[in-house]
Structures are given as C-alpha cells and as structure tokens.
Structure 1
Amino acid sequence: MTTSMRTDRLLGGRSDVDADTEIGLTVYDVARDLRRDVAAVRLPMPIDGAAEAEGSRDRLLAQLDEHLLPRLAELSSPAIVVVAGSTGAGKSTLYNSLLGEEVSAAGVLRPTTREPVLAFNPADADVIAEGPVTELSRVVHHAGVPRGTALLDAPDLDSFVQENRSTAQQLLEAADLWLFVTTASRYGDALPWQALARATERGASVAMVLNRVPHEDLVTIRGDLMGRLRSHGMVDTPLFVVPDVGPHEGLLDDKPVAQVKRWLTMLAGPERSRAVVVRTLKGSLNALPGWVTSLADAVEAQAGAATVLRRAVEAEVPAAEQLARDAVGAGVVAGAAVEARWRELSGTAKIERLRFRGDQVRSSRRAGRARSAALEVLRADVREGAAHTLTASGARVADRLRAVLDGPSAPPGGSSVLPDPDDRAADRETAVPATVTAWADAADERLAALLAEGAPGPVTAAVRAFGDRGLATLVLAAAAGSDDARRLLDRVLGDALDEQVAALRDDLADRAAAVVDREVDAVLDALDSPDLTDDAATALRLRLAELRRLT
C-alpha cells in the first residue's frame, strides 16, 4: 500500500486501530522530518519579509511541536477542546458550568486563570497522551467530561502577564478544537478575529460561544456575528449564544449552557472524537504546504539577496586591487620619511661617499659593516612606509565596501554582512606588519640566493661595501620608490640588480592586492554560509513534495 493510499485512509477517518497506527507513523515520519528541516532554517539577511518569515517559522515549529507530532504519535488520545478567549469573557465560569463544579478559578480579579486546567473522563485515563498540554496544565479526572474528549481551560489571550499569554498560545496550538469565548460587548474587537484567523490558518476546528448577550439584542447581535463569520470564510463554525444572566457568582444554570453541553456530548465517544481529531489533523496537514512554501520562498529570497551582494562586492575587487598596485608602482611607499632619512644618512654616515677602481666600488669590510648598520634605520623607514601604504589600501577598500553595502543605493541586507570596522582595523594592525616583514625578508633571501649562485663581480664588491643586509636594504628602498637609493645602485651596480628591484616591487604590489582581498574576504565570508546558498531551500522543497503527496 502506498504512502498516499495509507494517508487517504487516515484522512478518511477509518477506525481500524492497526491501520491508523501504521498511517500515523507514516505521516509522523514526514512531520518529524519537516520539523527538523524547519528548525534548521536561518534567515540571517534582514531583507523585506525576513522578520515575518521568522515568525511564521516559529509558529510552524510550535504547530508541529504542540499539536501535530504529539497527536500523530497518539491518535487514540481524547480530542482536546480548549476553552479560550480574552480577559473577562467568562471562560472559566463557562468551563466550570460545563463540568458542574468549580474546577478552574473564576472571579472578578484578573487574571483568574493563572494555571491551565485539563479535565478528562476517568475512563480515558489509560489513553490520555503525555505531551505539552499535560506538562503545562493541572490535570483533573472528572466524570462530567464526555468520554473521548478533554476540556482545557487556558489563560487569557490578552493577559497582562506575558507568561500567561505565551502559555495560552502554546495550548491553542496543541488543541484539536477551539471553543472560543467572547462577549456581546467585545466580539467586534480585533483580538477574537486575530485568534480565529490563526486557527483558520492552522487548519484547526473552531466553535464559538457568544457570552452575556442581552435578551433584547440577541437576534441582532447573533445575526451580525454570523455575518462576520461568513465574511471570514467560517461559514461552518458552530455558534452558541449564552444570554446575559446579570450579576452572579458561581456556576451558570443548566439552561444557558445546555446547547454547549449537547454539542460536547455529540463529540463524545472514541469514534466521534476521533472524527474531530482527524478533521483537525487534515486541516493542519492541508495548511502545512502553504506555510512551507512561504518559508522556502523566504530562504530562496535570502540566497538571491546574497547573490546580489556577492556580485556587488566582487565588482569592486579589480579596481581596488589595481589602485593598491598603482600606489606601490608610483613609489608612494618611499615617501617624505624615507627621503629625509636618506639626506640624514648621506650627511652623517656618508652612504654615498664611495671609492671606485675601474667600474667596481672599493671598500673595506669594516666600512661595509658600518654602512650596513647605518642603513638599518632606512630599512625601518621603508618598512613603516610599506605598512602605511598597505594599511591605507585596506582601509580604503573597507570604506568603499561600506559605501557600496550601506549607502543610499545599497542592495537589501548589505549592512548585515559588513564586519565591525574596529575588528577590521585590528586585523590590519596585526596582518600588515607581518606581510611587510615577509616582504623585507624576501629581499635578503633573494640577494643570498643570487650570491650562492655566483654573483657577478660588481655585486660581490657592493656586498663588501654595504654588507649583505645593507645592500638588500638599498634594493628594498629602490623597490619602494626611492630615487636616491636607485641612483646609488645604478652608480655601484649599473643594471645588475634591476631584476631584483622589479621583482620586489611586484612582490609588494601583490601583497598590497592581498590586503585588499583580505578586506573583501571578510565580507564574502559572511555571505559564505549554508543558509545563503542557492540550494538552501532544497530540504524544505523535498518536505513540501512529501506533504503534497500526503494531502
């Protein structure tokens, strides 16, 4: 037998216990998988509709947790009839009057129902299912409850106590049937219709009690309320009218509540109450595809927004990288500080005062060591200039991305993927000096490799005049854009190290582009989430297909 055939038997209300158990497990498996996938949904982008979709997801989870899964796990448990309504509607008085005993607190003090009360016939004790309702309520065995049903007195939907309102909503989600109580003076309020709309959306079965209706206005008010029910698509909703009996305490007489009692009795018995359960289950299952479709659409909208943002960010990369490379190529690294340092060294350390024999510089190793030591301050200035240039390139692209993603024409959700500016500044403060250190070390390594391969005579002579590290420092300064360092190298070496200078300049340009990429990646990483992929809604779409086969 196929899943759809077994489900048809359930929704058709078959009474065979074994078949219903098999069917319940089949539908239960689908509902359980749906619950898992809905719970996994995250909507990180604050785009239009995201907040509403999150609220819908939470309601769907509540519907699954509070009603569908517990009910599917135990189809034979009595049908739960929740008595619900707003403050002062007379719910608890009606509840007690239906039972013929003061079971739930009633009175003029608000809120009266602080603790939900669940009453069921003692004969149903062996089939009552443990679940959210029994966990939240005070459970009472009462012979006044018709067999096959359980009466639940819930807190006020508009209670000024937040905990009461939350509990009321939980209990409404768990119920098989809503007995909604309102009054002649308040049935036009927004709250009753908001609650009834939620019930209809969920596919719940609903009946309505219009309480405290003056005799002289009974026909008019009843007709008006019936018209409102029809306008809300609730043409089959049972409506019970309880006349106003004036000021009183305690239980109502049997006559005002007789019609409600008769209706509850009609629901009594395992088979008839099972019909209520199945009807609400069918309504709930039929309502699920719409909810899941909306949620899947919201997930896909998140992925679409992320794609737009990713493209906007990636579009900035070529220009930002080129700007960072151009800054290095233009020689801005060797700025005023390096020029001032060179003038100082020329005067005090006489860096440029050299002797030549033929085309090679002549120097003692002692003098070379002295020049090398003197050039350390120049190296420090070059490194500082490089760090400043790379940091500025990173800060510039960070500012540009902020303008693109959080400006007046920014795509939806852009601001949510921007990293904290202080965090990015701290990251640059740590990463850029390490990058510059690696670049400076590369100059030493290149010169060492060249010497190990057997450098030409002018290079060997220059090493003697400036030391290995000192010559590498001059190459760094020339690569950074120092004209003074470049002229000295040309004087000492001609074009022997031009390739090294160019390679180090390109290396620094690559590192500047990498700093830009690091800023971009900080944004793209926020978009690189499983919740924002093109297939993020696949699991929901699969669950949707299963639901449609079931319903």
Structure 2
Amino acid sequence: MTESNRMLTALIQLRSALQEVPLPLDLPDADAQRTARTEMIDQLEDYMIPRLTTIDAPLLAVVGGSTGAGKSTLVNSMVGQQVTQAGLLRPTTMSPVLVHHPDDGHWFGQDRILPDFTRTTKATNAPYTIQLVPSANVPRGLAIVDAPDVDSVEERNRNLSAQLLAAADLWLFVTSAARYADQVPWEFLKQAADRNAAVAVVLDRTPAEAVETVATHLARMMASRGLKDSPLFIVHEGPIGESGLLPPANVADIRGWLQSLAADSEARAAVVRQTLNGAIRSVSERAYAVANAAQEQESSVTALREEVESAYAAATAAVHESTADGTLLRGEVLARWQEFVGTGELLRSLEAQVGRIRDRLVNAVKGKPQQAQRVQVAVEAGLETLLVEHAEHAAEQAAASWRSTAQGKALLAADDVDLTRASREFRRKAEQAVREWQQGVFEMVRTEGADKRGTARFLAFGVNGLGVSLMVVAFAHTGGLAGAEAGIAGGSAVLGQKLLEAVFGDQAVRSLTQRARDDLERRVGELLDVEKARYLTRVDALGVAAGGPERVRSAARRVTDERFAHQQRHGGGHSA
C-alpha cells in the first residue's frame, strides 16, 4: 500500500470513528465538541479525503470574508466577467459559485471536492448546491469559489461559509477598511493559522488616504495572529463600470499573483500540501477532545442504564422472593386454601399422625371443585397485585434516579409517556401472564397424571385441586417463614405437598414444584423486562455505542503515525 493510500485509509477510519460518537447528551462542553466533531467530519468528507484522492486537481481558492466587503464584485473583477451575483441587498451570495477553466471541469464532479453539494450550471439559492461556471479567463490549475459572508445574518450562510473555507486549498480572505478589525473574521483567520492553512488577505474598497494607516495596522494584526507570512493585497476603492467590474488596474496585483500560482505547478502543489498537511494535523489533534467528550457521554449513558437495571433487578428479585417465601399464603389465598383442605382439622392431624394424612386429605377435598376454583382466583388476584406493586415501585425508583441528573431529566421529558409509573397496559399484561402461568401449572399436572387419571385419588382431587395445591407448594418453596406464619402458611404448604405426594410421589412433586417456579420466574422476568425497556430504548436511541471513544483515539493515533512516518522518510512536514 502506498503512503497516500495508507493516509487515505487512516482518514476514512477517523471519519467513521467520529461519526460513531454523536454526543447527544447535554453534558458540559458537549455543545462545543459537537460543533468541532461536525466541522471535522465535514472537512474530512469535503476536503481531506477527496483532495488526497485527487492530489493533482486544480488549486481551490475560496473567497470569503465580511458582509459588504465586496467579495462577489472582487471575484467578477478578478475573472474579468460577471460570474457571480453582486449587489447591495444582503445577503447577496447564498449558494456558492465555483469558477474554473473549461478544461478543468472534470475535476469538480459529484465525487470530488464537496461531494455532498448538488452541482448545477444555473444560478440558484438552493441549499447545499454549488453552481459550476466555466470561464476561459480563469487559468488552468486554479478554481475560485465565491462563498457567503462569514458574518451573515443568515445562520445557514455562516455555516456554509465555514464549511467552504474548510474545504479550501487557499483562503482569500476579503475585508474592508471599515470591517477589518471585526471579531468574526478574525476568528476564522485564527482557525486558518492554527491549521497552517495557506491564506491571502485582501483589503478591499480602501480609500487612497486610508491605505497606509489601515494596511499597516492590518499587517500588524496578521503578524500577531500567526499570519505574518501570508500575503496582503490592497484593492483600492474605485468606480464600478457598467459591466459591474472594478477597473482592471485595481485587481491587477491579486489577479497576477493567482495567475502565476496557477502557472507554477510546484508552487501550486506546495500550497496544497501546506493546507492539506495542516488540516490533517489539526483534525488528528482535535479528535482527542471529541473522544474525551464521548467518554463522558458513554459514562453517563452507562450510569443511566445501570440505574434502570438496578431498579428492575430489585423488583424482579422482590417478586421472586415474595412468591417463594410464603408471603402469598396469607389473606384471601390462605382463607380459600383453608376452605379447600379443611386446614384446622388437618393441621392437628398433621402434627399428631403424619403417616395417615394422605387418607384424611382424600376425604377432606372430595367433591370440592368450587373451593379449588376459589383458590385459583385468589392466587390470580394476589399475584397480579404483587406484580403491579413492584412494577410501580421500579418505575418510581428508576425515574427518581434519572431525575438526579440533567441528562436523565431530559430523557424523562423527551416525550409524553409517563415513565414514573408502570405502563398503562401493565395490569392487563400481568393478568394475562398469571392466567397463562396457572394454565401451565394445570397442564403440568394433567401431563404428569396422564397414567393416574383413573385412580381414586386423582379423581378425588381433580386437575384443579392438584393444580392449586402445586401453586401453594411453589409459594413456600424457600421455607423462609418464621414465627406464627411458619405454623399457618408453612403448614398449609406441607398439606399441599402431602396431597400431591399422595398422587405423584415425592420425587415427581419436587420436579413439578421446580418447574412451576421456573415458569413463574420466567414470566415475571419477561413482564418486567418489557417495563424496563421503556427506559432502555430511550438510552439506546441516543446512539452512544460502547468503545466509541477508544476508536476515535485509535484512529487519530494512526493518522498521526502516518504523518510522522512520512516526515521521517522525506524529512519534511508534508502528508501528501
């Protein structure tokens, strides 16, 4: 792979890495780094990557500057014909005009410099459209772009001007005697100096009596801001002819300089290399600040995600515990269970004569299908209440955690859905899940007792009776009860287990209980995962991918390594 191809690959990888870190959260410094990231991606796509692939393309000189500095008139005068609109109405230039020699037209196709801009040959104000104007008055090897004002009243024009200047091989920065000290143009010139871009400054529309004073002061300002080696051209104020052009003598110096630059392939290539190398160095250095901002975003997103995961994990654990430690064997469930098995008498029998409990159970539950159904209904209601209670609590906890940070608040306020409560459809889904679990329990009993359905005991208990007994046993699975509860709920569970063992035997009951528990836990997990997803989808929608910051740093290091490797081999500072 050639040096140029290695650098091109490194730049493409850096662009991709930057695209993967959108910085969506409004953290400190995020806004500035979002702007920097967009600028770098634009410059990589508009200038560095296309320029590196077409290193022999004409030098692109972008004419930019202050409002009313006379850029369009200057461009027309340098070319020697009307190629761009000039006038008193501001802003005048709203879509860029690129003037080139007719033989150089192939260099400016859609896949070349500024690839995202639509090409047209007609005057237009359409956004992101560039007008291509062939003119034999422009020397081969040079193209001139008339850009919007850097301080335009239109934000779109300001952004467009910055994007075009970032895509220039040469900045022709135009100001006037009245505007040369304005802050906005100097912010752009500082960027040019920082990037070591090739710059020429044009002091336009300067009255003869002000030339010496203004030019001297402007030269000092340029020197103090790192532009002492940049040429300064003076365009005297003069009458504009009927053709809309300045007198040729007024633009002779700058026009001659551009023509000589176009005619000297080595000088032209030196300008391209200077600006390209400066842009590559700048983007590789600035990428680290974006990576650091992306790291903060990733940490914040991880914290937001962990807070939600923690709230719903606690809710899931609490439901699992409450459905296994006998908590549900209280109140309505316990009352209905006692009606079904005659708990009072059987408990006394259980304490005195464990050996004969099976026979007594058969007699106790004969002909009680209605009571079994009441147990089923009570279990259903108890489970639904438990699920809703913990889903509400998890939502409250997750929302409270998010409210403690500005980014969490922003996510909570992002739409009209109230995340502080369980979803509106949760109760309905909980009811359905509980019913499906109960049907699953009955099916397990039916399947397990397939070869026992003709026995007296199976017929006495029935599928519903055995099913609710299995539910009761599952609800005391951990044996975590203490005190009086252990005597009532625990005893009830033992009765249920004895009843099941009377039909299926010890080992089968253990297997059925575990399967019922596993199925319940699975359904609870799925229910709460859907609730949790309401939060996590908002986090996912931010597009903060894990590992993004390190990919940016790695890509930036590779660009830097290629630069230094080239310098070591060639003893210079050029990248291309």
Identical positions, percent: 30
Hey, what does 1:19 align to over in structure 2?
none
Name the structure 1 match of 2:274.
279
Please state how far the C-alpha of 1:175 moved relative to its aligned partner.
1.7
Match of 1:401 in 2: 398
What secondary structure is seen at the aligned counterpart in 2 of 1:467?
helix
Check conservation: 1:154, 1:168, Cα contact below 8 A.
yes
Q: How does 1:391-430 map to 2 (within 5 A)?
A: 391-407=388-404, 410=405, 416=411, 421=418, 425=423, 428-429=426-427
Count of paired positions: 519
- 2:67/2:150 contact within 8 Å kept: yes
- Per-residue deviation, residues 34-86 of structure 1 (Å, max 9, x unmatched): 33343344445443344433332222221122112222222222111111123
Q: 1:254 aligns with which of 248, 255, 267?
A: 248
Q: Distance in 2 between matches of 1:202 and 1:337?
A: 77
Where do residues 265-344 of structure 1 align in structure 2 (5 Å cutoff)? Answer: 265-269=259-263, 270-309=265-304, 312=307, 319-328=314-323, 333=328, 338=333
Residue 257 of structure 1: how far off its partner (Å): 2.4
Whole-angstrom CA distance in 2 between matches of 1:62 and 1:264: 27
Output the CA distance in 2 between the equivalents of 1:362 and 1:241: 111
Retained in 1: the 8 A contact 2:261–2:267?
yes
Specify the alignment match of 1:541 in structure 2: 553
C-alpha distance after superposition, 1:454-500 (max 9, x if no partner) = 89xxxx87655442312432553576589988777777987876977
Q: Offset at 1:375?
A: 3.2
Q: Name the CA shift for 1:391/1:144 in 2 (closer, same or farther; >3 Å).
A: same
**Contact 1:362–1:465 under 8 Å retained in 2:** no
CA pair 305-56 structure 1, distance change in 2 beyond 3 A: same
1:225-244 superposed Cα distances (whole Å, 9 cap, x missing partner): 33433343333232223344
Contact kept? 1:329, 1:505, Cα under 8 Å: no
In the superposition, the TM-score normalised over structure 1's length comes to: 0.76
How do 1:68-83 and structure 2 match up within 5 A?
Answer: 68-83=48-63
Contact conserved, 1:309 with 1:414, CA < 8 A, in 2? no
Contact 2:150 2:161 in 1 (8 A): yes
Note if contact 2:151-2:185 (Cα within 8 Å) is conserved in structure 1. no
C-alpha displacement of 1:386: 0.3
Matches within 5 A, 1:203-282: 203-245=196-238, 250-269=244-263, 270-282=265-277
| C-alpha distance in 2 between matches for 1:128 and 1:471 | 82
Contact persistence 1:391–1:428 (CA under 8 A): yes
Structure 1 residue 548 displacement after superposition:
1.4
Greater Cα offset, 154-163 or 183-192: 154-163
CA distance in 2, matches of 1:139, 1:532: 39
Residue 376 (structure 1) aligned with residue 373 (structure 2): yes
Shift in CA distance, 502/40, structure 1 to aligned 2, threshold 3 Å: closer
1:437 partner letter:
R
Q: 1:341 deviation in Å?
A: 6.4
Q: CA RMSD in A?
A: 4.6
Superposed CA deviations along residues 323-361 of structure 1, whole A, max 9, x for unmatched, are 434544575546655578679xx6xx99889999x8634
- 2:172–2:202 Cα contact (<8 Å) kept: yes
Return the letter of the residue paired with 2:560: R
Q: CA deviation at 1:400?
A: 1.0
Q: Name the amino acid aligned to 1:156.
A: D
User: Hey, what's the Cα distance between the residues in 1 that align with 2:389 and 2:490?
Assistant: 25
Whether 1:121 and 2:98 are equivalent positions in the alignment is: no
1:150 is aligned, of 143, 158, 181, to 143
Counterpart residue identity of residue 278, structure 1: R
**Deviation larger for 478-487 or 203-212:** 478-487
CA contact (8 A) 2:423 2:531 kept: no
The one-letter code of the counterpart of 1:550 is E
* Alpha-carbon spacing, 1:411–1:172, altered in 2? closer, same or farther (3 Å): closer
Letter paired with 1:235: K
CA distance in 2, matches of 1:321, 1:492: 26
Q: Summarize the Cα distance change of 1:331–1:414 in structure 2 as closer, same or farther, 3 Å threshold.
A: farther
The letter of the residue matching 2:553 is R
What amino acid does structure 2 have at the position aligned with 1:32?
Answer: I
Instruction: Assess if the C-alpha contact under 8 Å between 1:478 and 1:485 holds in 2.
Output: no
Q: Any idea what the Cα deviations from partners look like across 1:121-155, whole Å, max 9, x if unmatched? A: 34655766663469243333334324422122223
The answer as to whether partners of 1:435 and 1:511 remain within 8 angstroms in 2 is no
The DSSP-based 3-state class of the residue aligned with 2:143 is: strand
Say whether the 8 Å CA contact 1:101–1:251 is kept in structure 2.
Answer: yes
Distance 2:95 2:312 in 1: 61
Q: Per-residue CA shift, 1:8-35, capped at 9, x if unaligned?
A: xxxxxxxxxxxxxx65444333333333
In structure 2, distance between residues paired with 1:82 and 1:538? 35
State the Cα distance separating 1:435 from its structure 2 match: 4.0
Residue 6 of structure 1: aligned partner: none
TM-score by length of 2: 0.73
**Cα 1:29–1:129 shift into 2, 3 Å:** farther
Describe the shift of the 1:76–1:506 C-alpha distance in structure 2 as closer, same or farther (beyond 3 A): closer
Amino acid at match of 1:440: Q
Match of 2:464 among 457, 464, 469: 469
Report the equivalent of 1:183.
176
Aligned to 1:375, what secondary structure does the other structure show? helix
SS of 1:268's equivalent? helix
Look up the match of 2:481: none
Q: Which amino acid in 1 is paired with 2:232?
A: L
**Secondary structure of 1:102 counterpart:** coil
